A and B are shown apart, each in its own frame.
Chain A
């Protein structure tokens, strides 16, 4: 077909994109606009049920749950984005190197991936997070550094087929070096795979933050994150504050699910474009 058929945006993918955009916007701008500070405590008002003053109620220290949810979203969304970015950069460089050079280097690099894959990711994550506990930046790096294996394999596979294309030969005959071919030609052409995988990575990095916060080695209190708001709410149930469990849980669930749906749609779109160019 000469004219590229326009892909319809299914309503579910559109809704998910809108939701992610809304969540990012609310968490980015919300805390500045919202009239209650996330850090303001008021013990007299502890465990207040949702009301006109506190839309989502208050926690054990009387802090406003909505304000904390907005600030926590900043943390969780940034952990998701930065960790996904770290994973993708490592995975892309690693996978593209293995796929491009091939031979013994490829075998060696992929054996190393096999080694990493033999250790449960959560073992590594727990291990590293317990070692370098306490700092938000290290948390992002640790999550990213334990999730590059999948992306590395995907990018390698993509580069293996792309490197046989004529434009690579053309670039080489014009005198382009290996680095230029990999990063100016191969990686941009693998962008579809990379973007799709990044979307899934954001989702899994957010879940990793939640899991680590539950295990007590994620984002440290008093800094709120969706993960530690949710794990903290587990014990608040016993104090009768059952309303605290829903907002962070639903925030994580809907946002992670949206990223997964968007990723799934992107992948399907890509597969269809390949099958029917």
Chain B
């Protein structure tokens, strides 16, 4: 197992290098450029040239890349010209918030999607299954921000159960946990809605497949209760491929966080990314993309390892 993990870790290095190259190239083919963004729209060509030179943007691309990568390997994610702050600091302030949001959404999705998928599979092709399927498809097809707005209209404006949004400052340690959780419920629900839909659909399909297997028939024939067959026998097998899906959902959650954090003015990575894209704050975009890429690669690695742990049939050597 440890050789497998080591090999997978080694394999992820070229992927990560690829991520850095991809981001770096994208930023440099873009029109405008950071010098223009920093010097301002009214800057004279001479001013822009001076800024370009000061930032080292007039050096060849591979030199810039090598310098940036070298700094990265020393733990330096870069310096944001726009925010006048190290990127690592900007990210460190916001990453915990986003991870908390993503974690809550992930937990909520699993708790909702698994029972729904199992029950739909158990009652497949009944009225319940059909109605639930329609709802699943509807929530899958809904613009996220629309769902968020509806939540705000109902639960914040009308019922006043939760705050509209806006954890005001990044320094959320200033708030106590009840406040933070109250600010978390609606964003997490908004972020979860798409994965609940996708996953329950997946669990349903995977359960139906497992329910057709011989071992299920055996379990039923030997007189086990329905509950025991469903949860002890079929669900365990149905969940195995689901682990890979969980790993693959990490990037989608990061993406979804951009929209969700925007709706609820939640101070996380998504908001920072959006602001940086609008400001053309390239070092921040670059640093965040690389960091997210690393988290995604780690997430997939973790899913692969879990897959091997959960399913004894999988052998990796």
Which residues of A are in contact with B by a Cβ distance under 8 Å?
Answer: 12, 111-112, 114-124, 126-128, 130-132, 203, 207, 210-211, 214-217, 227, 230-231, 234, 237, 245, 249, 252-253, 256-257, 259-261, 264
Contacts and interface: CB of A to CB of B under 8 A. Distances in A.
- B134, B138, B143, B278 — which one has the most chain A CB atoms within 10 A of its CB? B143
Interface of B: 14-16, 18-19, 22-23, 26, 30-32, 134, 137-138, 140-146, 149, 153, 248, 251-252, 254-256, 258-259, 262, 273-274, 277-278, 280, 285, 288-289, 292-293, 296-297
Closest 10 CB pairs of A and B: A122-B255, A115-B18, A257-B141, A120-B255, A256-B141, A120-B251, A120-B254, A130-B277, A131-B30, A210-B143
Contacts of B30: 131
B181 to A, nearest CB: 25
Nearest to A242: B153
Nearest to B293: A118
A252 B144 CA distance: 12
A207 B143 contact: yes
A207 B274 CA distance: 18
Nearest to A234: B149
A259 B32 CA distance: 38
A211 B259 contact: yes
Given A123-B273, A207-B141, A118 B149 contact: no
- A122, A132, A216, A260 — which one has the most chain B CB atoms within 10 A of its CB? A122
Given A215-B259, A237-B149, A252-B141, 13 more contacts: A114-B18, A115-B15, A118-B251, A119-B23, A120-B251, A120-B254, A126-B273, A210-B143, A211-B145, A214-B145, A215-B262, A253-B143, A253-B146
A122 B297 contact: no
B141 A118 contact: no
13 contacts: A112-B18, A119-B22, A119-B23, A120-B292, A132-B31, A215-B258, A215-B259, A216-B278, A237-B149, A253-B142, A257-B140, A257-B141, A259-B141
A25 to B, nearest CB: 21
A203 B288 CA distance: 28
A118 B278 contact: no
Nearest to A203: B141
Contacts of A215: 258-259, 262, 274
A257 to B, nearest CB: 4
A111 B21 CA distance: 13
Contact of B26 (A114, A127, A217, A260): A127
A127 B277 contact: yes
B19 A115 contact: yes
Contacts of A112: 18
B26 A253 contact: no
Contacts of A130: 277-278, 280
B16 to A, nearest CB: 8
A93 B82 CA distance: 40
Contacts of B144: 211
B140 A260 contact: yes
A252 B297 CA distance: 33
Contact of A230 (B32, B146, B153, B277): B146
A257 B138 contact: yes
A31 B31 CA distance: 36
B261 to A, nearest CB: 11
Contacts of A231: 145
A162 to B, nearest CB: 24
Contacts of B296: 117-120
B137 A260 contact: yes
- A114, A245, A259 — which one has the most chain B CB atoms within 10 A of its CB? A114
A124 B252 CA distance: 12
B138 A118 contact: no
Contacts of B140: 257, 260
B259 A214 contact: yes
Given A111-B18, A119-B251, A120-B292, A257 B278 contact: no
B297 A214 contact: no
Given A111-B15, A127-B285, A118 B297 contact: yes
A119 B292 contact: yes
